Amino acid sequence: MSAKTAQFITIRLSRASRRRSKMSKKARVAIFDFTGCEGCELNHLNFEAQLLDILEHVEIVEWREAMDEKADGYDIAFVEGSLSTPDCITRIHKIRRKAKFLVAVGACAVIGGVNAMKNTRPSEEIREEVYGKDKYLFPSLPALPLSAVVKVDFNVRGCPMTQIEFLKVFTALVMGKMPVEPDHSVCVECKLKENECVYDKGMICLGPVTRAGCDAHCPSFGQYCYGCRGLVSEPNLKAMEEILVNHGLSMDEAHKRLLLFNANQIEGVTS
Amino acid sequence: MTRLMLEQGRVDDFIRHLQAQRPVYAPRRKGQSSYVFAPVDDPNDVVLDYPRTLHSVKKYFLPPREELLNFNLKANSYGQPEIETANAIMLGVHSYDMHAVLRLDYNLAKGNKERNYFARRQGTLFIGVSFSPDKFHFSGSLGISPYDTTGFDLFLYKVDKGFALEIITAMGEKLLSGFDLPALGVPLPPHGEFQQHIYVPQSKLSEVFDHSQENAVWEEEAARCVSCGTCNMVCPTCYCFDVEDEVDVRVVEGTRNRRWDACMLRDFTEVAGGEVFRHKSAARQRHRVYRKFKYISDHTGEPWCVGCGRCTAYCTANISIVSIVNRLVNDYEKDSTARLPQTQPIIDRAREGHSDPAGEAKDLYSPVMAEIKSVQQMTDLEKLFEIQLPDGAELNHKPGQFVELSLFGAGEAPISISSSPAKKGVFDLGIRKVGRLTEMMHRLQPGDRVGIRGPFGNGFDLEKLKGKDVLIIAGGIGLVPLRSLINTVIADREAYGRLIICYGSKSDQELLFGNERKMWDEDPSIEFHVTVDRGSPDWTGKIGVITTLIPELALDLERTIACICGPPIMYRFVLLALKSKRFPEENIYLSLERRMKCGVGKCGHCQINNSYVCQDGPVYHYPAIKGLKEAL
Ligand SMILES: Cc1cc2nc3c(=O)[nH]c(=O)nc-3n(C[C@H](O)[C@H](O)[C@H](O)COP(=O)(O)OP(=O)(O)OC[C@H]3O[C@@H](n4cnc5c(N)ncnc54)[C@H](O)[C@@H]3O)c2cc1C
Ligand code: SF4
Ligand code: SF4
Ligand code: SF4
Ligand code: SF4
Ligand code: FES
């Protein structure tokens, strides 16, 4: 994360103030939901174990069920889903105005995503199904990432994002620290775990140009990375396509494979 | 040479015999066609005939992920996890991977001997096994044959019906005791032929690399490279790492973790502010290959690539390090008219020797907890902190040196020591708020405690400055380290000639050290010049970039030493301005900034060619770095 984007949050919970922990010092948090597959919905994550710890640091002032934005303002707004209707655009502007720090949660919010992913970790069949249907590659309504419309302060990536990662981001924000957003390939994490590369099994994988952070989730289960976390900065897409072509895809297939999650980034909608 | 015969049928018994003495690690299958080292449970799982493992045994001494410290935020205290000596037997290691361990020993001992690595590595016994070169191995070209027994305690040669076992060390012999084997009756068969070669003797490589910085191959390969970092991650001689703090969800406890990092990644050299010091993929590819064949080799006389073939075998883009090197060799030989500085062939160089087992391994990553004595807001972005070490200890630094400042949960950052050594009891850190750690630092108050490691780096060589006119050229926050030098000169004023300070800043609101600037301005023994890029309405001083101050200076070129520090972009223009004044290059010193993680010459982030900025810098004599790519 470069300093340009490192716009810092004002939730001040310094160590000293936390020790004196008063209710009013708690960070005010709101959670909103736009068009998405519900895979990332925060209430679907199993937070019970951590909920008490979380509530010690924050006060949840608005929850996605409350669809109108009532609270006066929030320290952090977590926003799920992509924007696909004019109404969405109005709402996100309103949220942005009230939020000191806005976090896009999940691939749909971060990169527009594939608005068809299921709640579970996509299995091989679901992915084959998805890849087979062009309508998912090019949804009729353009699904915009939040950053195409408002300034986003941080991204929690992934489709779906993981609980571990969300908590990491959350903890960082509570500390008043910009969370770390990796800007290197999934291959790095894959190699740290000493996985056998799926290319060695005759599969293809987008790990080399996909942003790490999921701990190479899919390759660790013997599946390929389909790029759900978005691309690294300045990816060499030509080289990536060449790799895909050398491993058996046509140029057209290779391009589509890259567009699956990253159409918005590749077409220059997000950075 | 005693060689014994280990029949295939007795291999399992042999492994059990070893297991009865120590834990045994050996290769086993993983996935469809891969192999990994793993603790041996069932001897049946062990595979001694394998092409290569995904990772080398390095992973046991320098783990892919490792906890360096654990801390408690409430108590602001930390502890260290216990490091267990493996005390194990590594069975079935190939000769090139053993050579790689010896090279790691060198790197992790050089300068600062790292405790974590050596604690694990100590007492490990190695049993080698010969290999049949496949289409990726090329260790033969680097002087490492499949039968090379260097570093092993026992060695197994693949022969008909089993293995010829050779005892190399007394420890190896001891391992065998109680396991009787017959002597081998026949001579060893020749080992398999290599299919890959570097087509030049090792002794020539250094010379080839002297001429290859500009080769077109870097751009060509970069066009195909996806900068995934795999080639680094699998290399048995790579040891660079990154460090990051993690905090539990209660925001009470956390750990400082390191993980392997890769110089092929774009973010490897990125610093706060977005500057990337090896931005082009071609420059990163060159750096990787130079590190394997030139930079460290020039110190030790040995190539730092051991020819395992992993980087090539696992590169999805099929980029081959052997092809790159052969291309360089080819182009160099074609271009034989090139007249470039003569260097000694590497084979003639003295070997520095590998590890230094006698040296004491140090705990390099534990900070001392120091107290903030005062905080002063200098500008919107910068604060000045006075720090006191425990028990009133002195930092004993030189001007130009830095410390690693540590805040649990945020991490560490290199920060220059801004006070002169003449200031006793406390030292100053001037810190600009730009990112995680610096933000958090700005929230701290007198009485809060922070971690300090250091001082690190070389600092300015005062002997070179004494008796000379000192010209300080500081851009923006570059004044922070130079202030230490300025105050050193002021504290011992007679020892130096003129003191000329040129200070430039973006705007007058961003000018640092208000009180001191006033003193410098009023002191008749100091020539103080300030300029700002943009002035506010009430700014009455000079407006213009820092280079505009230089032409007006009346300098005695022979006896003036220039000391420069500022943002990366500034150096080029200041150097040009000095050049047009015919300022002698050998009188110029620059303090450089790089991404830093360790401060002690281990993590690799700060490297410029073969120089570690955290060790050999940050202060550089201009002629020494003038020709270096990536330096300025
Ligand atoms: C020798 C040296 C002396 C320095 N002296 C000073 C000083 O006196 N005052 C001052 O304000 N700043 C100084 N800096 C710059 C300072 O280290 C960075 O601003 C700081 O590391 C940013 O850390 P952060 O966590 O706030 O930023 P983040 O952007 O959150 O940093 C994340 C990580 O990136 C790395 N990193 C980022 N920027 C730099 C950088 N510029 N240099 C090295 N590593 C970096 C660090 O490892 C850090 O942990 C110096 C840098 C060097 C190399
Ligand atoms: S499986 Fe994918 S992520 Fe893992 S190393 Fe191979 S290409 Fe990279
Ligand atoms: S491996 Fe790729 S597709 Fe799978 S979770 Fe990670 S980034 Fe997403
Ligand atoms: S493994 Fe290949 S593609 Fe990846 S960084 Fe290395 S050379 Fe480039
Ligand atoms: S550079 Fe490549 S061939 Fe050489 S030791 Fe490293 S991984 Fe092996
Ligand atoms: S090698 Fe780690 S900072 Fe220099």
Half-sphere exposure of A22 (CA within 13 A, CB side): 4
- Over residues B238-297, the pLDDT tens digits come to 999 999 999 988 889 999 999 999 999 999 999 988 889 999 999 999 999 999 998 888
User: How many other CB atoms are found less than 10 A from the CB of residue B371?
Assistant: 15
**B405: left (phi > 0), else alpha (psi -120 to 50), else beta?**
beta
Inter-chain CB proximity B30 and A194 less than 8 Å: yes
Q: Is the pLDDT confidence value at B358 over 70? A: no
Atom 8 of ligand 2, residue of closest alpha carbon: A187
Residues 6+ apart with CB under 8 A from B67: B81, B255, B256, B257
Predicted confidence at residue A88, as pLDDT, reads: 83
Q: Is B247 on the interface with A (CB under 8 A)?
A: yes
* 3-state SS track over B224-245: HCCCCCHHHHCCCCCCCEEEEE
Predicted confidence at residue A59, as pLDDT, reads: 78
Predicted confidence at residue A68, as pLDDT, reads: 55
Between CA A162 and CA A121 the distance in angstroms is: 10
Spell out, as residue ranges, where chain A has pLDDT lower than 70.
1-25, 35-48, 51-52, 63-71, 113-142, 264, 267-271
Q: Which of B616, B271, B599 minimizes the C-alpha distance to B417?
A: B599
Predicted confidence at residue A82, as pLDDT, reads: 84
Inter-chain CB proximity B266 and A234 less than 8 Å: yes
CB-nearest partner of A174 from B32, B244, B251: B251
Q: Is B134 on the interface with A (CB under 8 A)?
A: no
- Over residues B373-394, the pLDDT tens digits come to 999 999 999 999 999 999 989 9
- Lowest-confidence pick of A6-15, A72-81, B330-339, B566-575: A6-15
Mean of the per-residue pLDDT values for chain B? 91
Atom 4 of ligand 5, residue of closest alpha carbon: B305
In three-state secondary structure terms, A188 is helix
Q: How far is CA B625 from CA B368, B472, B619, in A?
A: 34, 19, 11
Name residue, tokens 């410029």.
B608
- Is the dihedral angle over the CA atoms B87, B90, B96, B100 positive or is it negative? negative
For residue A232, give the ligand nearest its CA. Answer: 3
Inter-chain CB proximity A239 and B224 less than 8 Å: yes
Phi, psi angles (nearest 5°) of residue A207? -50, -40
Which range is most confident: A171-180, B340-349, B513-522? B513-522
- Over residues B65-108, the pLDDT tens digits come to 999 999 999 999 999 999 988 789 999 999 999 999 999 999 99
**Å from CA of B478 to ligand 6 middle:** 20
Residue B293 near residue B304 (C-beta atoms within 8 A):
yes
- Stretch B3-14: mean pLDDT, rounded? 95
pLDDT tier, B302 (very low <50, low <70, confident <90, very high otherwise): confident
Containing B205, the helix (H) or strand (E) segment is: helix B202-210
For the CA of A158, the nearest atom of ligand 3:
8
Containing B565, the helix (H) or strand (E) segment is: strand B560-565
- Is the dihedral angle over the CA atoms B52, B54, B57, B58 positive or is it negative? positive
Predicted confidence at residue B158, as pLDDT, reads: 95
Between CA B505 and CA B244 the distance in angstroms is: 32
For residues B275-290, one letter each, b for 16 or more C-beta atoms within 10 angstroms of the residue's C-beta and e for the rest, the string is bbbbeebbbbbbbbbb
Predicted confidence at residue A23, as pLDDT, reads: 40
Q: Is B436 on the interface with A (CB under 8 A)?
A: yes
**B396: left (phi > 0), else alpha (psi -120 to 50), else beta?**
left
Residues 301-320 on B with a CB inside 8 Å of A are 314, 316-318
| Type of residue found at B114 | E
Predicted confidence at residue B476, as pLDDT, reads: 93
Percentage above 90 pLDDT, chain B: 81
- Stretch B140-164: mean pLDDT, rounded? 94
Where is pLDDT greater, at B506 or A8?
B506
- Lowest-confidence pick of A16-20, B405-409, B467-471: A16-20
Predicted confidence at residue A136, as pLDDT, reads: 45
CB-nearest partner of A236 from B227, B244, B273: B227
| CA A255-A258-A263 angle, 5° bins | 100
Atom 1 of ligand 5, residue of closest alpha carbon: B305
CB-nearest partner of B233 from A15, A174, A191: A191
**Å from CA of B265 to ligand 4 middle:** 9
Predicted confidence at residue A15, as pLDDT, reads: 37
Where is pLDDT greater, at A48 or B174?
B174
Residues 6+ apart with CB under 8 A from A4: B274
* Predicted TM-score (pTM) of this structure: 0.89
Q: Is the pLDDT confidence value at B426 over 50? A: yes
> If you measure CA to CA, which chain B residue comes closest to A191?
B233
Residues 6+ apart with CB under 8 A from A264: A111, A112, A144, A145, A148, A270
Radius of gyration of chain A (CA): 19
User: Chains A, B: CB contacts under 8 A, how many?
Assistant: 157
Q: Which of B8, B1, B357, B295 minimizes the C-alpha distance to B159?
A: B8
Q: Is the pLDDT confidence value at B416 over 70? A: yes
B15 lines ligand 4 (CB under 6 A): no
- Over residues B47-64, the pLDDT tens digits come to 999 999 999 999 999 999
Predicted confidence at residue A69, as pLDDT, reads: 56
Q: How far is CA B260 from CA B176, B263, B278, B361, in A?
A: 36, 10, 18, 21
DSSP sequence for B61-130: HS-SEEEEEEEETTTTEEE-PPPPP---EEEEE-HHHHHHHHHHHHHHHSSS-BHHHHHHHTT-EEEEE-
- Stretch B196-200: mean pLDDT, rounded? 86
CB-nearest partner of B33 from A53, A200, A247: A200
Phi, psi angles (nearest 5°) of residue A109? -75, -35
Predicted confidence at residue A139, as pLDDT, reads: 41
Between CA B55 and CA B35 the distance in angstroms is: 9
Inter-chain CB proximity A196 and B54 less than 8 Å: yes
**Å from CA of B436 to ligand 1 middle:** 10
For residue A192, give the ligand nearest its CA. Answer: 2
Inter-chain CB proximity A176 and B273 less than 8 Å: no
Predicted confidence at residue B179, as pLDDT, reads: 94
Predicted confidence at residue A58, as pLDDT, reads: 77
- Over residues B10-26, the pLDDT tens digits come to 999 999 999 999 999 99
Q: Is the pLDDT confidence value at B161 over 60? A: yes
Cross-strand bridge partners of residue B125: B89
